[in-house]
Chains A and B, each alone.
Chain A
Amino acid sequence: MDLFSNLALGFDTAFTLQNMFYCFLGCILGTLIGVLPGLGPIATIAMLLPATYALPPTAALIMLAGIYYGSQYGGSTTAILLNIPGETSSVVTAIDGYQMARNGRAGVALFTAGMGSFFAGCVATLVLAAFAKPLSQMAFQFGSAEYFSLMVLGLIGAVVLASGSLIKAIGMIVLGLLLGLIGTDVNSGVSRYAFDLPELNDGIGFVAVAMGVFGFAEIMTNLEKKGQDEGFLNKMSTMIPTKTDVKRMVPAILRGTVIGSILGILPGGGAALASFGAYSVEKKTSKYSHEFGKGAIEGVAGPESANNAAAQTSFIPLLTLGIPPNAVMALMVGAMTIHEIQPGPMVMTSNPALFWGLIASMWIGNMMLIVLNLPLIGVWIQLLKIPYRYMYPAILVFCCIGVYTVNNTVFDVYITAAFGIAGYLFTKLGCEPAPLLLGFILGPMMEEHFLRALLLSRGDLSTFVTRPLSLGLLIAAALLVVAVTLPAVKKTREEAFVEE
């Protein structure tokens, strides 16, 4: 069957020494940043992007992917042991996981998280492999109008499913779109908003924006809080769960996997949303719902499975349609572009080794992660003990180095500093930065498709609503907006984010 021969090709590619090494490196790095609070996959991928220039594209993507789903694993470790969620998606794990740790059941909690994550990751990878081909064939039905509408849906989905004020988030998207347009327009050669600065003619580097808004701004807001980390590390007892544990754990893991797989594909979905959703589902369907908040094992198993499944399936829209469903995938688009791969349905046919190699490496990566995480928990905890006052200058150093190497000009460093201030301002004003990054990456693409659609329809704007697929997508986007502004959904949304 086609799928098997493709997977064989994939494993062939993934099992080379070099690719295995980079997979391993990515997993370690991912786990590390998952464990360290304040440094997320977005900032790290942005930081490491320049370093991947020297690598062959397959190795680079494998490593970056490893970082992403590795961070999901790592985040749960600190969430359980220290009640510090290393990742937004681990916030939910911290609720019951930490309680389990306080009850002396840290080992079981960690085991549950690890097993759930592994199972979900494997299943989701299969989903990815199975659905890749049909989805990309559907993608060929997409003309420019459909692409534009899909991107609109993606952007709207991203804000709708995010927390905070809807209008301000849409505003951030538009702001990101505009910032992405700065530079020389590809279609006409006209320099836009560059004010005769030659460095701006190529546009603002998204590495600079990502590092400034997510890295620097985060550091600045962290420094303002003079809170202390209190971590007491309970002696870890056995890791093996009891029979009742397993009986409760398994259905939760299955449910979490399904939830995560679906939500990961949706635009705006992603690991965090998946874990929140799974927690709510577990709470509602569990016989032990009174235990939630005090150490219910389903409260760890469900969300952990969900966030790993979502991390894997969020690659689907990226690899098959070339559309990033969330900010991290937007950076992967950047990574692919740097390596001169055009993300989109063509990747499967023009670069099958890369495509299937990436998928195979996800499975390998999951295996590596389960090996890394359980025994090495003690090591990660030691790292957490490094005081923040040494940690954040290190982060600054790595960001500055990384940003410089993109173009070898210090101008980029200044731009990053400016975006650091901007990011700080955004936080103070209650504006979410993630939609900005999404809009920034998608801006030029959206414009291209928009103009091309109009060109093909000879200037007829109604083409976006007369073509059925495009109309359907736009209606879906509109429905999402309406649904969110309805009071009932608003309340559920606020509830889900109240623990953040």
Chain B
Amino acid sequence: MEIRNQKDFGAGLMYVVTGLFFTFIAARQSMYSAPKMGPWYFPFWLGLLLTALGLVVLVKSLQAKTALEKIPPFDWKIIGLITGSVVLYGVLLPIFGFGLAIMVLVFTSSKASHEFGWKGTLINALVLALGSYLIFVFGLKLQFPLLPYFLQ
């Protein structure tokens, strides 16, 4: 049995796993039953529905007459850089403040582009940090930790 449509196989697998996850957690609670519905009734059945859908997709992806389709390659560098820079922003924001966090975000995320250049990125970072301060903090009066904590 060959995996013909890899995309669908992956998707079906994702659905089955997620559906089972939600259903199992719901099943461990007391659900009551009709007429008195508990808070776990809806998620239990939705989880089962998702699992069923996932199984259908899975089976179809294995059938002989399905078109062959591969999953396009994952670019781990880009995923890592973009996600990492966002997480880094979250980590740095309360510690080092608004301006620095933004500049770090711009630098690390810019590295993901194959057209990266130091000078351009530096200008971009400064413009964005300053601009964001003006628009969001000064203009819209939103609350942000501004200064590094050791300066507060």
Contacts and interface: CB of A to CB of B under 8 A. Distances in A.
Interface of A: 50-51, 54, 165, 167-168, 170-171, 174-175, 177-178, 181, 185, 187-188, 190, 192-193, 216, 219-220, 223-224, 226, 387-390, 392-394, 396-398, 400-401, 404-405, 408, 410-411, 413-414, 416-417, 420-421, 424-425, 428-431, 447, 450-451, 454-455, 458-461
Interface string B63-94: 00000010110110011001101110111011
A421 B83 contact: yes
A428 B42 contact: no
B82 A168 contact: no
B152 interface: no
Contact of A417 (B18, B71, B90): B90
A429 B10 contact: yes
6 contacts: A178-B46, A389-B121, A393-B125, A420-B82, A429-B14, A454-B34
Contacts of A405: 136, 142-144
B128 A430 contact: no
Interface residues of B, number: 69
Contacts of B8: 165, 168, 429-430
A429 B85 CA distance: 24
B37 A451 contact: yes
A46 to B, nearest CB: 15
A397 B132 contact: yes
B17 to A, nearest CB: 11
Given A192-B39, A410-B94, A459 B54 contact: no
Contact of A171 (B53, B109, B120, B141): B53
B142 A175 contact: no
Given A170-B53, A216-B83, A396-B109, A181 B43 contact: yes
A393 B72 CA distance: 24
B39 A187 contact: yes
Contacts of B116: 389
B78 A220 contact: yes
B106 A397 contact: yes
A404 B93 contact: yes
Contacts of A392: 109, 113
B34 A459 contact: yes
B140 interface: yes
Contact of A397 (B11, B83, B102, B115): B102
The 10 A-B pairs at the shortest CB distance, nearest first, are namely A459-B35, A413-B90, A459-B34, A410-B90, A389-B113, A430-B7, A185-B39, A417-B86, A429-B11, A393-B106
